[in-house]
A and B are shown apart, each in its own frame.
Chain A
Amino acid sequence: MSEHNHEHNVSSPEITFGHPPAEGTGRIWKIFWLLSAVTVAELILGFGIAKHWYPSAAWILFIKGVICILSFAKAYYIVSVFMHLGDEIRNFIMTIVVPLCLFIWFIIAFLWDGDSWKKLRNKYGGEPAKTEQVAPAHHQGAKD
């Protein structure tokens, strides 16, 4: 086993088998061009919002959704290829990715919460509830 470790420059005795020897840099550059292309696509779509290219609010919302999906694609390639998470064994990937699924609830719940605040404020005028203003001023001296 130690001979096998030596072959692939394994960094620690904890590791029982080394990663395959690094291939060329072709994949890195491919991902670089992919990330650049996606970023340019995002910028063009975003520039369209700034320059009022889209006919309606629904269109703008749709474009923003597309930009979000493109950003998630970028995140996937950075994590999978640049950070080499895709090369790790599956159990390890799962210990990272499964907890991150909490974000699905996190995003939906809190944006919903914000939207609910807006609706309530618009409906009730943003005035604080009067009942909470009742101060026990008369009882201030009671303890003395």
Chain B
Amino acid sequence: MSTAAMQKETKWWSGGRSPFNASYGKVMMWYFLMSDAFTFGAFLISYGTIRFSQNFWTDPNKVFNSFPGLHGMDLPLAFVSLMTFILIASSVTMVLAVHEGHKMNKKGVEKYMILTIIGGFAFLACQAWEWTHLLTGDHVALLGNGTLDVVPTTVTMNPWGADVNPDAVAAALQGTPHDQLVNIASTVGHGGEAHHDMSALSNTELIDAITKGNIHVTHTGPIAFGGYFFGITGFHGFHVFSGVVINVVMWIKTRLGHFDERGHYEMIEKAGLYWHFVDLVWVFVFLCFYLI
């Protein structure tokens, strides 16, 4: 009776009866995710615009070719495959948690929420490793001033440009200052000589050591690469992190029996929608940054 009276007073729909036969919270979660899809879409399309505007773009297979514990091996796509499968697996455990929720099986929900949370942390750990690897990377690049140096991949520096031919490398080594030669020699050295020993060597000795080390030198690449990579994977990682926080809250509420008291596990479904969205976005981040 009161509902009918209220509907005459205002033209705004404010719950109470669902036009889509879904709860207010779930409908609004969907609209939030749709808007978030546009945010991510805009970021990725902006990346595409910049990439299409350049004559040269960094080859992801050269940047992302490392795996923890397997130093010096060329393994394109290996680590990111692991990350992708972690996320797919955690998506499945999430969907199984929702499934157990439908059956009002508290123990089942708890178990699958824990597995989903572990998956989320594993993904974040992988991302932390990858960021650290890039930010502390030891790739030798030919800088704009004609000298060579060891540079990491950051938002202001991209060492992954086109290859430099051996003659140009030899010429650039002649003009490279002593401290930069020490940096380069330290990265190509086989770990036997410590850094302070290197600095005692003369420029000629350092250049000799570097040339014997057979280094792979590139020009610097488009600077936008790092900004887009760290910006977009960071924004996605932030979503993963907040998803893990939400899942932990849901796990605690399940354990405390809040959803049993309420008589339904719909909160698990809503958290699940968010978590699957994170997986969905990763499909496209994976596509844009690693595959193509």
- A residues in contact (CB < 8 Å) with B: 9-17, 21-22, 25, 28-29, 32, 35-36, 39, 42-43, 45-47, 49-51, 64, 67-68, 71, 74-75, 78-79, 82-85, 88-89, 91-92, 95-96, 99-100, 102-103, 106-107, 110-111, 113-115, 117-118, 121-122
Contact = CB atoms under 8 A, between A and B. Distances in A.
Contact of A16 (B15, B18, B48, B286): B18
A124 to B, nearest CB: 14
Interface stretch (B90-98, B136-144, B199-207): B90-98
Contacts, number: 158
Nearest to A83: B276
Contacts of A32: 88, 92
A39 B77 contact: no
A106 B264 contact: no
Given A64-B292, A110-B49, A114-B49, 5 more contacts: A15-B21, A39-B88, A78-B91, A100-B37, A107-B45
Chain B at the A interface: SS class: helix
B34 interface: yes
Interface in B55-73: 55, 61, 65
A99 B61 contact: no
A117 B49 CA distance: 9
20 contacts: A15-B18, A16-B17, A22-B102, A29-B92, A32-B88, A39-B85, A47-B76, A47-B77, A67-B287, A71-B286, A74-B283, A78-B91, A82-B92, A83-B272, A83-B276, A96-B31, A96-B34, A106-B45, A110-B45, A118-B54
Nearest to A12: B23
Contacts of A46: 76-77, 290-292
Q: Which of B27, B102, B283 has the most CB of A within 10 A?
A: B283
A68 B45 contact: no
B263 interface: yes
Contacts of A49: 61, 292
A32 B46 CA distance: 31
Interface of B: 15-24, 27, 30-31, 34, 37-38, 41-42, 45-46, 48-55, 61, 65, 76-77, 81, 84-85, 88, 91-92, 94-96, 99, 102-104, 263-264, 266, 269, 272-273, 276-277, 279-280, 283-284, 286-287, 290-292
Contacts of B92: 28-29, 32, 82
A114 B77 contact: no
B41 A106 contact: yes
A92 B27 contact: yes
A21 B103 CA distance: 8
A13 B18 CA distance: 9
Contacts of A78: 91, 276, 279-280, 283
Contacts of A9: 102, 104, 263-264
Contacts of A118: 52-55
Given A11-B23, A68-B292, A78-B276, A107 B84 contact: no
Contacts of A114: 48-53
A1 to B, nearest CB: 12
Nearest to A16: B21
Contacts of A82: 91-92, 94-95, 272, 276, 279
B20 A92 contact: yes
B57 to A, nearest CB: 11
Contacts of A74: 283
Given A14-B17, A14-B24, A100-B34, A36 B85 contact: yes
Contact of A121 (B22, B23, B37, B53): B53
B22 A22 contact: no
Nearest to A112: B52
Lowest 5 CB-CB distances: which A-B pairs, in order?
A: A114-B52, A50-B61, A114-B49, A92-B20, A117-B53
